[in-house]
Amino acid sequence: MIATVVGSYPRPKWFREYLKRIEGLQKDLDVEIDAEILRKAIAEVIEKQREAGIDLMTDGQLVWHDFLATLATRIEGFTMDGLIRYFDNNLYYRRPIVKDRLRRRGEILWDFKLALEIESNLKPVLSCFTLAKLSKNEYYSNFEELLWDLGEIVKEEIKGLNVEFVQFDEPALLFASRNEIEIARDVFREICKVNAKTILMTYFSSAENVFPEVLDFSFDIFGLDFVEGFDVNLKLAKEYDLESINVGIVDARNTKMEDLKDLKAKLERILEFAKDVYISPNAGLEFLPEDKAFEKMRLVSKLKEVFE
């Protein structure tokens, strides 16, 4: 059993103040960030994860003010539109607009590579389907062409990383049409040919809409939300005998701390069939206060310790 996190983590207070000074109120995504200052912040967040007992860590995505906008501004062909609501959250994202053919113009995960100089046991977090689906397409003749070009860019990016795991955050996949699922299957099959274990993370809902088709996507590990969709996702995971599974069981969107006994009882039901288990919060921890985010991580590691 491996304790892990999903991706984002709260920025240290001093680093938030630094970003405010250099970015201004508009949160300029193109502003140049001092590499040594960012390195210090990443090292602090990695140490927090280690102290909490997390086995498989992330870099915390500390300069990712907006998951989709950050990716889009690092890929040629996108421009940014105004804010729209992100799923059913009280959060908003800047909608990317595809204005030209998408091209990889340099390292997308340059900040993650900086983190790898500090700690090698990290997983990068990317998106392909969700970025394509939540963008406004003004260039490609259809969604399939857009997704294939974006998939090739992501695959090339992964090739440049020396990592054991690569995670794809794809909540939009849970709401895809049948045709979109078929397109995504072929694109992800190609992406998953990379020399790393691939993790599909889904959250905000149950995965009922994509089963059993998602089993043909070639991912090594399936991440399901056992906070928002426990009963349905448990049924799916058991019915389709998911042996390698990321269990998002701690609520990343609520400061209330779960009862360890309740979490243990839920996880026991999953362990009846799952053999290769990763436990984590159900989403990124960025929007929790720092102390609560740390407590959530500690709860994940305590849950793991119960079964050791």
* Domains of the chain and CATH, by start: 2-306 (3.20.20.210)
> Tell me: the pLDDT tens digits for 199-246?
999 998 899 999 999 999 999 999 999 998 899 999 999 999 999 999
Stretch 141-152: mean pLDDT: 97
Model confidence at 22, pLDDT cuts 50, 70, 90, reads confident
> Tell me: the pLDDT tens digits for 168-190?
999 999 999 999 999 999 999 99
pTM over 0.75: yes
Stretch 251-278: mean pLDDT: 96
Beta bridge partners of 279: 3, 247
Which residues, 6+ apart, have CB-to-CB distance to 67 below 8 Å? 7, 8, 61, 93, 127, 169
The first and second tokens of residue 273, run together, are 């069939």
pLDDT (0 to 100) of residue 294: 98
Where is 19: in which H helix or E strand? Answer: helix 13-23
Is the pLDDT assigned to residue 92 strictly greater than 70? no
pLDDT (0 to 100) of residue 25: 53
Which residue carries 């009922």 as its tokens?
208
Which residues, 6+ apart, have CB-to-CB distance to 220 below 8 Å? 192, 197, 198, 199, 244
